[in-house]
Amino acid sequence: MSTLTGRRAIVTGASRGIGRAIAMRLAAEGAEVAVLARNGEQLAELSDDIQAIGGRCVTQTTDVTESDAFRGALDVAVSELGGADILINNAGGNSFSMPVVATRFSGWQKTMQLNVDSVVHACQVVLPTMLQDQSGAIVNLASIAGLRGSPLMAHYGAAKAAVVSLTQSLALECASNNIRVNALLPGWVETDLTGFLREEESTEEAVLSRVPMRRWGTAKEIADSALFLVSDQSSFMTGQTLIIDGGLSVMP
Ligand SMILES: NC(=O)c1ccc[n+]([C@@H]2O[C@H](COP(=O)([O-])OP(=O)(O)OC[C@H]3O[C@@H](n4cnc5c(N)ncnc54)[C@H](OP(=O)(O)O)[C@@H]3O)[C@@H](O)[C@H]2O)c1
- Tens-binned pLDDT, residue by residue, of the chain (252 aa): 789 999 999 999 999 999 999 999 999 999 999 999 999 999 999 999 999 999 999 999 999 999 999 999 999 999 999 999 999 999 999 999 999 999 999 999 999 999 999 999 999 999 999 999 999 999 999 999 999 999 999 999 999 999 999 999 999 999 999 999 999 999 999 999 999 999 999 999 999 999 999 999 999 999 999 999 999 999 999 999 999 999 999 999
- Decide: pTM greater than 0.85: yes
Mutation test of ligand 1: which of 11, 15, 63, 164 has the most ligand atoms closer than 8 Å to its C-beta?
15
Closest ligand 1 atom to 92 CA: 45
Catalytic residue among 70, 156, 188, 216: 156
Centre of ligand 1 to C-alpha 192, Å, is 8
- Taking the C-alpha atoms of residue 186 and residue 34, their distance in angstroms, rounded to an integer, is 23
Domains of the chain plus CATH, in order, are: 8-244 (3.40.50.720)
**Of all protein residues, whose CA lies closest to atom 2 belonging to ligand 1?**
189
Q: Strands across the sheet with 86-89, in order?
A: 57-61, 32-37, 8-12, 86-89, 136-141, 179-186, 241-244
150 is catalytic: no
Centre of ligand 1 to C-alpha 117, Å, is 15
